[in-house]
């Protein structure tokens, strides 16, 4: 699991996206300034700001229409084996194909 998280973090760091967050709560640039949303006041991801790292992806986003196949066109790095990108509003979520859990996030513009 740590290896997958490290791969995901490295992939996002190389992608050059605006705001990136790892499951451990640290920003991809290494600081704690960019953190995963806590459970208060709409500080999560997605159009309703209610999606957080470590949460299962809601059913409404588990259809092919939300999966990002051409991730490079969205400025995203190749997802690690067994993961895929999902777009929720302007934000991007790296999701485990096995568990459906949100592993990492990228804040949209």
CATH code (residue 35): 3.10.450.160
Q: How many domains does the chain have?
A: 1
pLDDT for the residue 109? 76
| Per-residue pLDDT tens over the stretch 44-81 | 999 999 999 999 999 999 999 999 999 999 999 999 99
CA-nearest of 82, 92, 85 to 69 is 85
Cα 91 to chain centroid, rounded: 8
pLDDT for the residue 7? 52
Question: Higher pLDDT residue, 66 or 29?
Answer: 66
Q: Give the predicted TM-score (pTM) of the model.
A: 0.64
Q: Angle CA(82)–CA(88)–CA(91) in degrees, nearest 5?
A: 90
| Per-residue pLDDT tens over the stretch 90-106 | 999 999 999 999 999 99
Contacts of residue 91, defined as CB under 8 A and 6 or more positions apart, other chains included, come to: 45, 46, 51, 105, 106, 107, 108
Question: Higher pLDDT residue, 99 or 39?
Answer: 99
Question: Higher pLDDT residue, 106 or 14?
Answer: 106
Contacts of residue 16, defined as CB under 8 A and 6 or more positions apart, other chains included, come to: 75
The domain containing residue 33 runs over which residues? 2-107
For the four alpha carbons of 59, 62, 66 and 71, in that order, the dihedral sign comes to positive
């Amino acid at each position: 699991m740590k290896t997958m998280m490290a791969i995901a973090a490295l992939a996002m760091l190389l992608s050059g996206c605006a705001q990136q967050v790892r499951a451990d709560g640290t920003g991809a640039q290494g600081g704690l300034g960019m953190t995963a949303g806590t459970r208060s006041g709409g500080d999560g991801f997605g159009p309703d700001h209610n999606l957080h790292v470590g949460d299962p992806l809601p059913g409404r986003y588990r259809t092919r229409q939300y999966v990002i196949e051409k991730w490079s066109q969205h400025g995203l790095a190749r997802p690690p084996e067994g993961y895929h990108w999902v777009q929720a509003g302007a934000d991007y979520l790296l999701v485990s194909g096995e568990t459906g859990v949100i592993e990492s996030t990228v804040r949209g513009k």
